[in-house]
A and B are shown apart, each in its own frame.
Chain A
Amino acid sequence: MYRKQVRRRRAIMALLIVAALVLLSTRFSESDGGPLHSMQRAVASVFGPLEEGATRALKPARDLINWFSETFQARGQNSDLEAEVQHLRNQLVRAKGAQGENRQLRKLLRLDRRGTLAGYTPVTARVIGRSPTVWYSTVTIDKGSGTDVKINDPVVDGDGLVGRITDVTHGTAEVTLITDNRSAVSARALPNGPEGVAEPEIGDSTNLLLDFIDRSEAIHEGQLVVTAGWSNGGISSAFPPGIPIGEVSDATVGEQETYQRVHLRPFADLRDLEFVQVATGGPKRPGVAQ
């Protein structure tokens, strides 16, 4: 009797492991319109309203817990900040001189978002769910194909680039953030700095790496980095040029390296997104599927 139960338990366990592996490999091999993708979208559509309701209802509790967490962190940062104030005072003197120059550059580069996303129809969406693991930096928003949101539409918030749409149901959409391991954004340092690819460093959501910057190129801390909107006629970046991504926080080059190791601090607070804007209906970008 007991042996029979053990055999049954092992059989079920083996069946579940095989089922998980089959799901895993089928999900990778099938097209976007395949049965597993459709099933996932159906489940996501059912969960959409539940997530939205729970997100709204639990916001006060979330804010309260985050307030405690931030206060705790702030106490630890206090002593660091005192030392930083001294350092910043010295920098302020130099910054005054750069201020006038900066104003002129901003005018020149027209960084305002209306100019950058001209030709797009912005759709404001609420973030209703997010992945719990650092391996998938994705969020779910409450707008989908019903409001003309399409795959590969750029997503921004008030501070800068957030990511792009990677899956859509009728009422929800998945946004893959720029800190996800599948993300790579062609980027350009301002004012006339080099172009590279902004990609994440998994595990550190407050840091991006600007790769493929030649060691001879001049790039320094504090430089603004925007999307390059790269295109060669046949294929192109999913993002239009000029969307702010972040600023250079560190640039180092190793002895035997061809490229510099440039770190960026993203402008958008990707761990605390509440509302985002999806740029829909923009001009067709060659090679970008929609």
Chain B
Amino acid sequence: MIITLRSAVRIALIVLASVVLQISFFSYLSFFGTTPDIMPLVVITLGLLGGALVGAVCGFAAGLVLDSALLQTLGVWSLVLLTVGYLAGRYREGTDISNSLVPPLLIGALTMAAAAGFAAIQLMLGVRTPVSLLVLREIVVQGLLATLLAIPLYPLIRRVLRPAIVDDFEARRARSPITRSASRAGRTRGRRMRRSVGVSRS
């Protein structure tokens, strides 16, 4: 992803809108006794589209804003979200995502990991009351809900960030009626851009 001022503003707006939507909308919904959590989904999506660094920084910032807005213990969400954002970005940098089913499944699995990580941190910080086994159901259902929600939300976020995504830039150029030499020049430019932002393609 090419990080310009415009794309940075878009990412910031996506993160802020997600926090507001999570607190005011998704937290009120209940499916199979579980509340959908879109914050890991958004951070993982940003990691998948922008790489490890974008995923980690967005995860840290999103966690900070979420914890602050809800007056919760600072740092817990940041730690969990920056980890899943980074992991998603690392996956993207090492593997070419060619199948459209991969992002939702990956988002589901990493959301489950985020929920489990959050639970582990809470247990490490100390919980005075008994913990029900229903917490395990919560973790699994959150992963499944994230997979379902990723089907519309991943393409939506990708669409919003499309101008900054290197792959889409190339695809757009390939579709345009240009000469073979111009196309070659475009590919060279694409390679140069990928190298400058540290994105490798296998």
- Whole-angstrom distance from the CB of A131 to the nearest CB of chain B? 5
Residue of B nearest to A46 (CB): B69
Which B residues between 76 and 104 are near A, CB-CB below 8 angstroms? 76, 78-79, 82, 86
Check if A140 sits within 8 Å of B70, measured CB to CB: yes
Quick one: given A12-B57, A130-B27, A138-B71, are A54 and B20 in contact (CB under 8 Å)?
A: yes
Check if B30 sits within 8 Å of A66, measured CB to CB: yes
Q: Which of A65, A130, A202 contacts B135 (CB under 8 A)?
A: A202
- Which stretch from A19-27, A84-92, A237-245, A275-283 is at the chain B interface? A19-27
Residue of B nearest to A72 (CB): B31
Check if A130 sits within 8 Å of B23, measured CB to CB: yes
Which B residues between 6 and 33 are near A, CB-CB below 8 angstroms? 19-31
- Which stretch from B122-130, B152-160, B161-169, B174-182 is at the chain A interface? B122-130
Check if A41 sits within 8 Å of B71, measured CB to CB: yes
- Which stretch from B42-50, B59-67, B183-191 is at the chain A interface? B59-67
- Whole-angstrom distance from the CB of A258 to the nearest CB of chain B? 16
Which A residues between 103 and 143 are near B, CB-CB below 8 angstroms? 128-136, 138, 140
Distance of A62 Cα from B29 Cα, bound (Å): 7
Check if A43 sits within 8 Å of B24, measured CB to CB: no
Check if A129 sits within 8 Å of B24, measured CB to CB: yes
Q: Which of B19, B21, B71, B132 contacts A202 (CB under 8 A)?
A: B132
Q: Which of B52, B82, B131, B137 contacts A20 (CB under 8 A)?
A: B82
- Whole-angstrom distance from the CB of B115 to the nearest CB of chain A? 8
Q: Which of B53, B60, B118 contacts A9 (CB under 8 A)?
A: B53
Measured between beta carbons, the chain B residues less than 8 angstroms from A61 are 25
Distance of A54 Cα from B25 Cα, bound (Å): 8
Residue of A nearest to B67 (CB): A40
Check if B135 sits within 8 Å of A43, measured CB to CB: no
Measured between beta carbons, the chain A residues less than 8 angstroms from B129 are 181, 184, 199-202, 209
Quick one: given A20-B75, A21-B75, A44-B69, are A131 and B132 in contact (CB under 8 Å)?
A: no
Distance of A40 Cα from B27 Cα, bound (Å): 20
Measured between beta carbons, the chain B residues less than 8 angstroms from A204 are 132, 134
- Whole-angstrom distance from the CB of B17 to the nearest CB of chain A? 9
Check if B56 sits within 8 Å of A24, measured CB to CB: no
A223: interface (CB < 8 Å):
no
Check if A24 sits within 8 Å of B75, measured CB to CB: yes
Measured between beta carbons, the chain A residues less than 8 angstroms from B64 are 23
Check if B74 sits within 8 Å of A23, measured CB to CB: yes
- The majority secondary structure among interface residues of chain B is helix
Which has the most chain B C-beta neighbours within 10 Å: A17, A69, A130, A131?
A: A131
Measured between beta carbons, the chain A residues less than 8 angstroms from B56 are 12-13, 16
- Whole-angstrom distance from the CB of A18 to the nearest CB of chain B? 10
- Whole-angstrom distance from the CB of B201 to the nearest CB of chain A? 13
Check if B79 sits within 8 Å of A21, measured CB to CB: yes
Measured between beta carbons, the chain A residues less than 8 angstroms from B76 are 24
A167: interface (CB < 8 Å):
yes
Measured between beta carbons, the chain B residues less than 8 angstroms from A272 are 28
- Whole-angstrom distance from the CB of A253 to the nearest CB of chain B? 16
Distance of A199 Cα from B115 Cα, bound (Å): 23
A98: interface (CB < 8 Å):
no
Check if A17 sits within 8 Å of B79, measured CB to CB: yes
Check if A128 sits within 8 Å of B24, measured CB to CB: yes
Distance of A47 Cα from B64 Cα, bound (Å): 13
Closest 9 pairs between A and B when the two form their complex, measured CB to CB: A24-B75, A23-B75, A43-B68, A54-B24, A203-B132, A203-B135, A203-B134, A129-B23, A20-B79
A contact set with B: CB distance below 8 Å: 1-2, 5-6, 9, 12-13, 16-17, 19-28, 36, 39-41, 43-44, 47, 50-51, 54-55, 58, 61-62, 65-66, 69, 128-136, 138, 140, 166-167, 174, 181-182, 184, 199-204, 207, 209, 271-272
Could you list some 22 contacts between A and B, CB below 8 A? A1-B195, A5-B198, A6-B198, A12-B56, A13-B86, A20-B60, A21-B75, A23-B75, A43-B68, A47-B20, A54-B21, A61-B25, A132-B26, A132-B27, A134-B138, A135-B118, A135-B119, A166-B71, A174-B71, A181-B129, A209-B129, A272-B28
